[in-house]
Amino acid sequence: MSGKLKPWTVRGSKHVLRSPWISVRADDCVTAEGVEISPFYVLEYPDWVNIVALDAEDHVILVRQYRHGLGRITLGVPAGTIEAGEPILEAAARELLEETGYGNAAQLTLVASLSANAASNTNLCHTVLAENVSQISTLRHDPTEVIEVERMPYREALELAIGGALTSITVASLMLGLNAANKISL
């Protein structure tokens, strides 16, 4: 580290939007070099969790669903918002069960905590590895979600990730989760 980098000074801040899913904050900033940036919008999202779930046969549990932000149907790992005060591993178990009907993981392991966009987002995406999961219930979808569950060999999921068929944060979680499960070596 060079020691030359310094954080910006925030001279003022106000929320321009607040909702359960996102808050938008407008900061009046001055860089270390004296450049004023006003407003600089900061997106305040809750943390979320991505679950890399493997069953006893080394199949990955994936979900396919419509994502309105992209305007398309995507394939990715089960994921969801962490409720305020909820431990990460409990959120992972809850989201996995809600989105896929899979649970009873022999082990849940926090693999990594990543920022999806450190430039403007405040939240982290936590990757959790769930090993030896099994289907234990029917799906309990949120009324705004319609999800198709796909179970596939992890190598096939890896090929889809490398080929660009999965979204970026899902690719990062899948790679880190498979590495932690000793299925691949990074």
Where residue 114 sits, what CATH number does that domain have?
Answer: 3.90.79.10
Q: Are 34 and 64 in the same domain?
A: no
Q: Are 111 and 125 in the same domain?
A: yes
Q: Work out the percent of the chain whose per-residue pLDDT is above 90.
A: 88
| Residue 77: partners with Cβ closer than 8 Å, 6 or more residues away | 50, 51, 52, 53, 60, 61, 62, 63, 170, 173, 174, 177
Taking the CA atoms of the chain, what radius of gyration do you get in angstroms?
19
**3-class SS of residue 30:** strand
pLDDT tens digits, one per residue of 94-123: 999 999 999 988 899 999 999 989 999 999
Mean pLDDT of the chain: 94
Q: Report residue 53's pLDDT band, with 50, 70 and 90 as the boundaries.
A: very high
Q: What is the pLDDT of residue 20?
A: 87
pTM: 0.92
| Residue 117: partners with Cβ closer than 8 Å, 6 or more residues away | 43
Q: Report residue 139's pLDDT band, with 50, 70 and 90 as the boundaries.
A: confident
Q: Are 59 and 79 in the same domain?
A: yes
Q: Work out the percent of the chain whose per-residue pLDDT is above 70.
A: 98
Q: Would you say residue 78 lies in a domain?
A: yes
Q: How far apart are the first and last CA of the chain?
A: 25
pLDDT tens digits, one per residue of 157-182: 999 999 999 988 999 999 999 999 99
pLDDT tens digits, one per residue of 9-40: 999 999 999 998 899 999 999 999 999 999 99
Q: Are 89 and 173 in the same domain?
A: yes
User: Considering its fold, how many domains does the chain have in total?
Assistant: 2
Strand segments, DSSP code E, in 68-182 are: 72-76, 79-81, 102-103, 107-114, 125-135, 147-153
Q: Residue 174 is part of which domain span?
A: 48-180
Q: What is the pLDDT of residue 21?
A: 84
Residue 82 or residue 140, greater confidence? 82
Q: What is the DSSP letter of 143?
A: T
Q: Are 58 and 87 in the same domain?
A: yes
Q: Kindly compute the dihedral angle of the four CA atoms of residues 170, 68, 63, 18, in this order, to the nearest 10 degrees.
A: 70
